Structure 1
Amino acid sequence: MTFRYDFAPTPFGDALAVFSDQGIVRFDLSEAADPSVPWLLENVAQQLQAAPEPDPGAADDLVSVLDDYFDGVPVRFDEHLPFDWRLTSGFARTALQVISEIEWGQTLSYGEVAVLAGHPGAARAVGTACRHTPFSIIVPVHRVVRADGTPGHYGAHPERKRYLLDLESQG
């Protein structure tokens, strides 16, 4: 199995995109100039048990879909590129796959996702799955909100979650 990486521009900075032979395996919003990117690559290499190789242009198809998304076009990333779910398992994978089905401009609460994932009462586990997703933006964890309808956090960047929800509410 070979793994390769490239960067994709977003309004938040360049995102790290890692691909396997089966599809995208990780999409991370850390900026390319961010000193944590080498750490991210080391972390991904540990998780994959293989070092991803740089591959300029590997993210070209993803960039095209991201451009549409950030232009306000309702897209589903999983309809445009294959996902390699190897970095998730168990309930986290199930929850993220449920989240993948949340339509553009819609939201579900953490508890609603837990019910749809077959584990009522596992709202906190849904939050953990969202926090640790290997697929920022492309699995729309930003569409998962608190039970009272407030957005909640998005890692250390709640302003990004608000931006994405506002973008989708305009379409």
Structure 2
Amino acid sequence: MSEKNAATLATQDEGSVLQELNKKFVQDAHDQGLVEISYRIVESPIGRLLIATTEAGLVRVAFETEGHESILDTLAQKIGPRILKDRGALDDVARQLDQYFDGSLRNFSLSLDLRLSTEFRRQVQVELGNIAYGQTLSYAQMAQQVGKPKAVRAVGTACATNPLPIVLPCHRVLRSDGSLGGYLGGLDVKSRLLHLENPDYLGTGATLF
């Protein structure tokens, strides 16, 4: 065996050992109750997404434009500092996101942790999950849906602060004239998600209900 091949095998063996040690470290941390939040970064057609979970469920989906390090700092402050990068803990979330983006999944089936939202915002965000795939509502209609017809601005704030975009589809909420309004991931991303779900979506002025 050449020195080059021997070096390659040694590097591969070292990588395997490190991978196994990391798995053991992650498992031990979970077993000892030392982990409050597990997270990983996943690739998607709209950029890299940070997904984070607690024992209660998925707690955060964050766009790259939000600054993933900043998101982790916020999670540490609001939930707890024991945060671990753990690919395995979020396999189901990653799989469902992949299926959503390839068009084979319309409804997510995940346990959710909405502790990052206050009571009214949480109510609005849960209601977002009732907007059918490929359909939209206006902010005013969402206010009606949650029994607060005058709280249109508060509904907009709840959508803007939604900790679980895509999974709780705030991109399906538009202004009354059909224009996009705002979106945490940017208006281009919002438009792309609407087109993904409904290729007939026409953009500003369009209504899908």
Offset, 1:56: 1.8
The two structures have a TM-score, normalised by structure 2, of 0.74
CA distance in 2, matches of 1:19, 1:149: 34
Q: Say if 2:165 is the partner of 1:131.
A: no
Matches within 5 A, 1:9-88: 9-30=43-64, 36-77=67-108, 80-88=109-117
- Tell me, yes or no, if the aligned pair for 1:92 and 1:126 is still in contact at 8 Å: yes
Query: What is the RMSD computed on CA atoms of the aligned residues?
Result: 1.8
Partner deviation per Cα, 1:50-100 (whole Å, 9 max, x = no partner): 3321112222111211111111234212xx210011111211001111111
Which 5+ residue runs of structure 1 have no aligned equivalent?
none
Greater relative contact order (CA < 8 Å, ≥ 6 in sequence)? 1
Q: 1:169 aligns with which of 198, 206, 209?
A: 198
- Tell me, yes or no, if the aligned pair for 1:7 and 1:17 is still in contact at 8 Å: yes
Structure 1 stretches of at least 4 aligned residues deviating more than 2 Å after TM superposition: none
CA distance in 1, matches of 2:135, 2:196: 12
Matched pairs, number: 166
Offset, 1:160: 0.4
CA distance in 1, matches of 2:178, 2:74: 34
The two structures have a TM-score, normalised by structure 1, of 0.90
Q: CA 1:90–1:69 in 2, change beyond 3 Å: closer, same or farther?
A: same
**Structure with greater proportional helix content:** 2
CA distance in 2, matches of 1:144, 1:110: 6
Which 5+ residue runs of structure 2 have no aligned equivalent?
1-34, 201-209
Matches within 5 A, 1:138-157: 138-155=167-184, 157=186
CA distance in 2, matches of 1:138, 1:111: 21
- Tell me, yes or no, if the aligned pair for 1:18 and 1:52 is still in contact at 8 Å: no
CA distance in 1, matches of 2:196, 2:76: 33
